[in-house]
Amino acid sequence: MSDEAMAAETTTPASMKSFHHYAAVLFLGFASGLPLALVGTTMQAWLVAEGITIATIGFFGLVGVPYTFKFIWAPLMDRFELPFFGRRRGWLILSQLAIAGALWWMSSITPKGNAQVFALIAVLVAFLSASQDVAIDAYRTDLLVAKERGMGASLAVFGYRLAMVLSGGIAFLWADQKTGLGWSWSYIYQIMAMIMIGVAAVSLLLVPQLPGHLQAPKTKASRDLIGFLALVLAVVLGYQITNRLVQPGLDGLFQVATIATNQKWADLITLLTGIGITLPLGWWASRLTRFETLNRSMKSYFSQPRAGTFLLLIILYKLGDAFAGALLTPFLLKVIGFAPAEVGVVNKVLGIWLTIGGALLGGALMIRIGLYRALLWFGLLQLVSNFGFWLVAVSLKGAWGGFDLPAFNWWIVLLKEATHIDYQLITVIALENITGGMGTAALVALLMALCNQRFTATQYALLSALSAVGRVWVAPFSGVLTEAMGWPKFFIFSAVMAIPGLWMLIHLRKDVLALETPRIGIDLDD
């Protein structure tokens, strides 16, 4: 670091420095959250409007697969820095501009008429969004010191959910033909593309650079590039083995049954088998070609006590939440029959503000009760909240009554006609979103505490990819399970799936408590 930079570090008041950190984290949380709904719940609403079946919409959840594999290319974002913008910021700006272009392209495709092309573009948006997340997560982890992590995690969730108010809530009101603006989903996606261009401009002009002493790991660039290419080839090979050998065999096995659901189970087993083949191939390829940044990052992480057990905890912690929310939008719209405007107001606007409140409350409580107790109590509350959706599934619509929300026009949010709001829906969404926001804030703080700053992009990408396993991979399970067992039993099942994560957390109590004190990561370059 230069003498001038060091002087600035020592003369800047700690409170002002933290304020700058928090402002950057809040904005980048918004940037991260905006595209997620556009390949998630908002895309599901578009598919519902096109008449796509529930089971098929469940499989569309797989467009989020890049979120669970971003650790594959994260080492390149750790190792290489784009010129002029400083560490992490170049990748931020590039990925944000690319997301804008991909969203504009997606807006030009009709899902029903070009389902395969639409899905592929959605996968591209998810890939670019996952890449942006790699840069943002690494930037945030590098920027915040230990005492700032709790509130920083809450503000990241605040910004993230604020963006989802726009892309996953206000967008519903824009699209509602009766009480909203009646805009087409294509037009809405074009608006989101323009917003991402604005996000890139703010990242360029206002997001501060990281301290100069944070530098890329010292590995051979050529070896990293060769290792990455070998990893990609291993993934392609795994896909071809699955597509040409596994899938035909399973299709033949299930051909004796004529029920459509059985074919969905065949597709699901094919998918899981493919993952089981591809991941070991990728690991073998990275070791064979000495993919240094990836290998050193993994060595650094696994040098920690109970490193592998922590990975399992990260997968399981929000698994119950993931099952409950996987197909929530089509459940509310298509099964229960709520209007898009009602879902938009309650679930996607009011609900997300409640999530923000939950995240901020979680951050404040973490300061007082610590990381372990926050994870435990917030996880228990998440489990209880799932029974609210069971209650909606077994009750008649309007069982608790409701009220009419008057028409309003708040610039970008417009409700042309009064719309009915269900009291039960509000109650259930409030409980789920507040507890979900608290749990997310605690989980983000845990991920940051586990990372070594030398390999932040790779390690956080791996950890957050595992935390997204539930959100992405349970969607196909959810579509099949709801058809097999019905919605009430499915929501009970989702609550049961929260128990293993809590058991694992209790098992790791001493190790989580140890993370609550600042520590120095292992630097393998020394």
The 10 Å Cβ neighbour count of residue 187 is: 12
Instruction: Say if residues 419 and 368 touch (Cβ distance below 8 Å).
Output: no
Q: How many domains does the chain have?
A: 1
Measured distance CA(410)–CA(257) in Å, rounded:
54
334: DSSP letter: I
* 66 within some domain: yes
pLDDT digits (tens, 9 = 90+) for 455-477: 787 888 888 877 776 666 676 67
Alpha helices in 395-514 (DSSP H): 423-450, 456-467, 469-485, 487-496, 499-507, 509-514
Torsion of CA 156, 162, 167, 169, to 10 degrees: 140
| Residue 498: inside a domain | yes
Tokens of 337: 């029959």
Domain that holds residue 462: 11-514
- Considering the domain boundaries, does residue 340 fall inside one? yes
Rounded distance between C-alpha atoms, residue 222 and residue 94, angstroms: 22
Query: If DSSP codes are grouped into helix, strand and coil, which group holds residue 26?
Result: helix
Q: How many CA atoms lie within 13 A of 521 on its CB side?
A: 24
pLDDT tens-digit profile, the chain (526 residues):
444 444 444 444 567 777 888 888 999 999 999 998 899 888 988 888 888 777 677 777 778 778 877 888 888 888 888 877 777 888 999 999 999 999 999 999 888 878 788 888 999 999 999 999 999 988 888 888 777 777 888 888 888 878 887 887 788 878 877 766 788 899 999 999 999 999 999 998 888 777 666 665 666 777 778 888 888 888 788 878 877 777 777 666 665 544 444 555 666 577 667 767 777 787 788 778 777 777 788 888 888 888 889 988 998 898 888 888 877 878 888 788 887 777 777 765 676 677 777 877 887 888 788 889 999 999 999 999 999 999 999 887 888 888 888 877 766 666 777 778 888 888 888 888 888 888 888 898 898 889 877 778 788 888 887 777 666 667 667 777 887 888 899 999 999 999 999 999 999 999 999 887 655 444 444 3
Residue 523 domain flag = no
Q: Quote the Cα angle for 72-290-80, to 5°.
A: 55
Look at residues 448, 359, 347 and name the one whose alpha carbon lies nearest to residue 388. Answer: 347
CATH code for position 242:
1.20.1250.20
Is 159:28 a contact under the CB 8 Å cutoff?
Answer: yes
- Token representation of residue 497: 């799936």
Q: Is residue 313 part of a domain?
A: yes
Q: Is 174 part of any domain?
A: yes
Instruction: State the Cα–Cα distance between residues 442 and 370, nearest whole angstrom.
Output: 9
Quick check: is 164 in a domain? Answer: yes
* SS3 labels along 94-118: HHHHHHHHHHHHHHCCCCCCCHHHH
Alpha carbon of residue 31 to chain centroid: 12
The helix or strand, by DSSP H or E, that contains position 413, with its residue range, turns out to be strand 413-415
Quick check: is 139 in a domain? yes
- Which residues, other chains included, contact 287 with Cβ-Cβ below 8 Å and sequence gap of 6+? 295
